[in-house]
Amino acid sequence: MVHDTELQRATWLLENSGDAGIITDSRGVIEYVNPAFEAMTGYRREQALGRTPALLKSGQHAREFYRELWKQLSDGKEFRGVLLNRRKDGSLYHEEKTIRALLDGAGNICHYMSTGRDVSARIVAVEKLRYDATHDGLTELPNRTLFHDRLQQSLSYAARSGERLAVALIDVNYFKAINDRYGHEAGDAALRVTAQRLQRCVRQADSAARLGGDEFALLLHDTEAVERVMNALMQDCGQPFQWQGVMVPLSVSVGVSCYPDDDRSASALLRRADEAMYRAKAAGDGRSSWAMSRAPQAAPAWVEPAVSGMDMLERDVPLLHRVLRAGESIYRAGEKFRDIHILRVGLCKLYSVSAVGREDLITMMFKGDWLGFDGLADGHYRCGAVAADVCELLTVRYDALLRAGTRNPALLALMHAAMARQNARERDAVLTMHALPADGRVAAFLCRWADELALCGLRSDQITLPTTRAEIGNHVGLTLESVSRAMTHLEREQLISFGSRGRRDVAIPSLPALRSYVERLADGAR
């Protein structure tokens, strides 16, 4: 096999090298392999001799790659690169390889010598770094950076080809409430479930991404498919998911913009989709909903006109959107009246302040309630309002609401309806509460709280009381001791039970049974 001094030297070097070595003739037929080659590839020397290096081909490189490799060698150039090869047992590995020609005495190519080492671990580490830089660690979706890059590339291609694109922004409704009620691990699970459902709703050519927090995005390469994708998304993403034996409600709000109808730049398309998403959130009332940036001239049947009260407000009145944590003040008793607040998510407490400065609970306010009407009488809020849970509020200046009402009387009708509904509810609650014995008053309070949870899509079998027993007693006209005795009695009757996290962790096994109990007591009081 060895014909000259250079070849002998090459063989000696490879025999003692830690890198895998091969020597072939000028046609590429293997004449020698070293021990490191046998260890790396799994082929024994006698199995490799007489064959070509093609025995290591993985099928992962195109034919053009190998043609370019041999062209370089034929031109007398050295090849350096990383090949994805296959071992005898079928496993793949990355080999960092160097190949150069050996010349005979006349200067002609007579042999080729290659050396290589397994760099799979390094390649995997680099790929992981690259992946981590462009993907979200929790959901494994592309992150904001990669999504914006794909959007820019798609827009550049669309400008040349005339392709139409759609961009959708997705927001998980009540995500903070899920975190606060079920814990941050449940919030993470909600994000992972949403990511999985988004991927099921789009084609392989489209992109789903997590932009951060509870915000996701879609890039759709076919605007004709928007209706289909949105219908599938509303159906799939509006289903509750199971977390530690509890069904947690889940819904999303989605806004869609289209290229080139709505705009041509990435930032403008995202801004229009974001605006549409907030319209969908206001109109959806907590359910999964979606909205287009703007409807076409002849709106197809699947584009529903926005006619809800929240739509009217957002269209005609400047609104401030705020998110408050439990315990944060909305306004204080005695402050100058300026604003009306609409409770979109969560609940809050209204307090009066006694002569000695003690705050006494007046009532609980729930999703959909309007706050601040007590300031109409003398220009100052008569009571204070504080968030009892994570709250989302829409705040509007009262004078701006009045001005808008002169242009659109339906806005004032909406406000008056809210006032009447809340007054009737409080009146009925007072009449019912004070006609009941202590057990019935506490049971009625719990029924009302569970009913409001049900309107939000939450279950009544695991309730964290939003207030203390003393505050409940103040609200229903009982002492702290009476509230405690009533709750103990309700527990003995198996109408409520207490969880492991304290006496404010209350479960109602059967809301109909508790409601029936209240009705029986009310009938007996008449």
Q: Is the dihedral of CA 34, 39, 45, 49 positive or negative?
A: negative
Q: Is the dihedral of CA 376, 378, 381, 383 positive or negative?
A: negative
Phi, psi of 288 (to 5 degrees): -65, 130
Query: What burial class does residue 94 get, using C-beta atoms within 10 Å of its C-beta: 0-12 exposed, 13-18 middle, 19+ buried?
Result: buried
Q: How far apart are CA 113 and CA 7, in angstroms?
A: 9
Inter-CA distances, 470 with 87, 232, 359, Å: 74, 48, 11
Report if pTM > 0.75.
no
- Over its length of 526 residues, how does the chain's per-residue pLDDT go in tens digits? 445 667 777 888 888 888 999 999 988 899 999 999 999 999 999 999 999 999 999 988 888 888 888 888 888 889 998 999 999 999 999 999 999 888 887 888 889 999 999 998 888 888 888 888 889 999 999 999 899 989 999 999 888 888 899 999 999 988 888 888 888 999 999 999 999 999 998 888 899 999 988 999 999 988 888 888 898 898 888 888 989 888 888 989 999 999 988 888 888 899 889 888 888 887 765 678 888 876 433 333 333 333 345 556 666 677 787 888 878 889 988 899 889 898 877 778 888 776 666 667 777 787 778 888 888 878 888 888 988 777 788 888 888 888 887 777 777 777 777 776 666 666 656 656 666 788 888 888 777 767 665 554 444 454 556 567 777 776 677 787 888 888 888 888 888 877 655 555 677 777 778 878 887 877 665 5
Q: Which domains does the chain have, with CATH numbers?
A: 5-124 (3.30.450.20), 137-295 (3.30.70.270), 320-413 (2.60.120.10), 432-525 (1.10.10.10)
The helix/strand/coil state of 291 is strand
Res 306: pLDDT:
33
Query: Can you name the residues that pair with 18 across neighbouring β-strands?
Result: none
The helix/strand/coil state of 49 is coil
Q: How far apart are CA 199 and CA 139, in angstroms?
A: 11
| H-state helical runs in 43-101 | 45-48, 63-74
Q: How far apart are CA 224 and CA 220, in angstroms?
A: 10
The helix/strand/coil state of 130 is helix
Res 298: pLDDT:
34
Q: How far apart are CA 466 and CA 439, in angstroms?
A: 19
Res 475: pLDDT:
67
Res 308: pLDDT:
43
Q: How far apart are CA 292 and CA 275, in angstroms?
A: 9
